[in-house]
A and B are shown apart, each in its own frame.
With several copies, the nearest count.
Chain A
Amino acid sequence: MKKLELRLSGFGGQGLITAGIILAEAAILDGKNAVQSQSYGPEARGGASKAEVIISSEEIDYPKVGQADLCLAMSQQACDKYAGNTQPNGVLVLDSGYVKNPPEFSGKMYSVPITEIATSEVGRNIVANIVALGVIAGVTNVVTRESLETAVLDRVPPHTKDLNKKALAAGYESAKNLLQREGE
C-alpha cells in the first residue's frame, strides 16, 4: 500500500474526529506515515462532522483527502454529501441504522448497523465510533488489529478500556461475518 485516503463522516457527537485520530495513531504504530485532518463547520454545533485520514508508507505532501479510498458515513446527510466523492473502486461503509437510502456505488459497499451494535452488543451507543473502526479495519486491513487496539486503549479513559475493547471486537466480528457472507 502506497497511500490510502479515508473519510469518516456523520454528525457531531458521534466521535468521528476521535476515530480519525485513533486510526492515524494505529497507522503510526504500524510504522506508517499518517495525516489526519477534519472539517470545522463555522458553526458545526451538532451538525455535520468529518474526519479525514491519509495513511502512507511514504512522505505525505498534500494533506487533504480528495477522492477517498474508503468512506464511512454514519448519517444519511453525510452519505449524501460524501459517498459520491469516493474512488469508483473504493469502499463505502455505512451505518445502516442511519443511512436508509444507500447510494448507487460501483465499489464495495458495506451496510452495518454500527450504532445498533454499539447499543445492543456493547451496551453504550457512544462507542459506535470504535465499532466503526473495527468494521473498517476488518474489511480493509488498513491498519493491523494489534495497533488499532493499542491505539484505542491509549486514547480512551482508563475506566472505559474494557468497553472499548469490546466495541472494537464487535466491529471486527461483524466485518468478518460480512466478508464471509460475501464469500471472500
Chain B
Amino acid sequence: MAAKTKCKAQLLSGNEACVQGALVAGIRFFAGYPITPSTEVAEGLAEELPKIGGRFIQMEDEIASMGAVIGASLAGLKSMTATSGPGFSLKQENIGFAAMTEVPCVVVNVQRYGPSTGLPTSPAQGDIMQARWGTHGDHPVVALMPASVRETFDLTVEAVNLAEELRTPVIILLDEVVGHMRERVELPAAEDVELFNRVKPTESPDTFLPYKPAANLVPPMPAYGDGYRFHATGLVHDETGFPCGKGADGNTLVRRLQAKVEQRQPKIARAETFQTEDAEIVIVAAGSVARSARAAVKEARAQGIKLGLVRPITAWPFPEEAIDSVAQTAKALIVAEMNLGQMILEVERIAAGRAPVFGLNRIDAELITPEDIIVRAQEVTNNVR
C-alpha cells in the first residue's frame, strides 16, 4: 500500500492509521524493536518509508531504538519509534535524554495488559501514569490518547507537530483496542494537513547559542551538518549547550523545559465533552473506553438518566479545565479506565472535593462495556442521593 491519503473511505486499523499519519506528518526515520501489540506500526513503516526515501531500521532492542531516533532527529529527520509496555519501560532513560536535550521525537506506546509480560495481546490503559513519570527527574511530558482510527491519524500528525514545535518527545498512548480494531475512515489529502517543521536558527554559527530560547521558550534547532557545531548533552547545561555543573543553570534549564509545555497547556491540553451541560453524572474516560462511555451516555439518556462524558484527548498535560468545569456542575464523576485507577488521581485532585469521584475499573482484559458504565452510574446515583 502506498501512503493512503486520498480522501476516500477505507478500512484501516489504528496502528495502520498511525503509519499513515506518520508518513503525512513528515516522519522520515523510524527505529524500533517488535512488540505486540505495536508491531504493525513498525511493519507498516518498514514497507512505506523506503518508498519515499525514508529510513527504517530494526535495532537490537528498545533502548537502542530510542537512541537511534534521537540521533536521527539531531541529524535533521523527523523521527519516531513505536513500542508497548515492556519496551516503553526500557525506553524511559533515553526519553528523559530527549526531554533534557530538547530533541523532537515521537514515541508510540500501544498499551497492553501489564505489569510485566502480562497478557501481551490484551488491552489495558495501565501506562497513563508511566507516560508522565516513567523517567527519573522532573521533565515535561506531552501524551495523546486517540479513541478512534481517524483520531489516531490526526493525533499522530499532531504529535509530530508538537514534538517539532516544542522540541520535546511526544508520546502517543494508544490502547490495544484502538490499535488493532479496523474501522471505516476517510483520511484527509496530504496537502490539507497542516505541518510544523522545527524552527532552524537564522543567526550565524559564530554568535548562535544552541540552548538560548526564543520568545516561546523553545530554542531554534540546527541539524548536525548545518555548520553550527553544537554540543548536546544530558547533563545540566547552560545556553551554550555545555555542562557547567551549576545548580543555578539546572534551575533555569529544567524550569524552562517545564514552562515551555506548561505555558501552552491551554492550547495542548484538550478534552472532548459530550452532553455534560445538564449531566448529573459525568463519566471521564479516554481511548477505547470513551467509545463505550459515549454509547452509555446515549443509552442512559434514552432511559432518562442524565449522563455526560468528558474524554481527555491529552493524557498530559491533563485537561484540567474540562474536569474543573464538570466538578462544579455535576453531582458526581465516574472515572472509567482499564486499570486500577490512574486518571482518577488527577480527577480527584482537580475536583478537590467539589464533586465526589468514583472509579470504574476493569482489569480483566476486556473493554469496559456501555452496560458496565450504566450500572455504575446507577450505583453512584443511589450513592450520592
Contact = CB atoms under 8 A, between A and B. Distances in A.
Interface in A38-56: 38, 40-43
Interface string B287-327: 01001101100100000000000000000000000000000
Given A41-B121, A41-B245, A66-B369, A36 B182 contact: yes
Given A34-B183, A37-B181, A63-B291, 17 more contacts: A24-B11, A24-B184, A28-B10, A33-B183, A34-B184, A35-B182, A35-B184, A37-B177, A38-B180, A42-B119, A42-B122, A61-B294, A61-B370, A62-B291, A62-B369, A63-B177, A63-B181
Contacts of A28: 9-11, 184
Contacts of B122: 40, 42
B181 A35 contact: yes
B120 interface: yes
Nearest to B235: A42
Interface centre among A61, A64, A66 (most CB of B within 10 A): A61
Contacts of B37: 40
B26 interface: no
Contacts of B180: 37-38, 40
Interface in A1-50: 21, 24-25, 27-28, 32-38, 40-43
B183 A60 contact: yes
A44 to B, nearest CB: 8
28 contacts: A24-B11, A24-B184, A28-B184, A32-B184, A35-B182, A36-B11, A36-B182, A36-B183, A37-B177, A37-B180, A37-B181, A40-B36, A40-B121, A42-B119, A42-B120, A42-B121, A42-B235, A42-B243, A42-B245, A43-B245, A60-B183, A61-B370, A62-B295, A62-B367, A62-B369, A63-B181, A63-B183, A63-B288
Closest 6 CB pairs of A and B: A40-B121, A61-B295, A42-B245, A36-B182, A37-B181, A62-B295
Nearest to B245: A42
A37 B294 CA distance: 19
The binding surface of chain B is classed by DSSP as mixed
Interface centre among A25, A34, A38, A40 (most CB of B within 10 A): A40
A25 B9 CA distance: 9
Nearest to A36: B182
A41 B177 CA distance: 14
B292 A35 contact: no
Interface of A: 21, 24-25, 27-28, 32-38, 40-43, 60-64, 66
Interface of B: 9-11, 36-37, 119-122, 177, 180-184, 235, 243, 245, 288, 291-292, 294-295, 298, 367, 369-370
Contact of B184 (A33, A40, A61, A64): A33
A24 B183 CA distance: 8
B84 to A, nearest CB: 13
Nearest to B367: A64
Interface centre among B119, B120, B183, B243 (most CB of A within 10 A): B183
A34 B184 CA distance: 6
A33 B295 CA distance: 16
A172 B268 CA distance: 52
Nearest to B118: A42
B366 to A, nearest CB: 8
Contact of B11 (A34, A40, A43): A34
A30 to B, nearest CB: 10
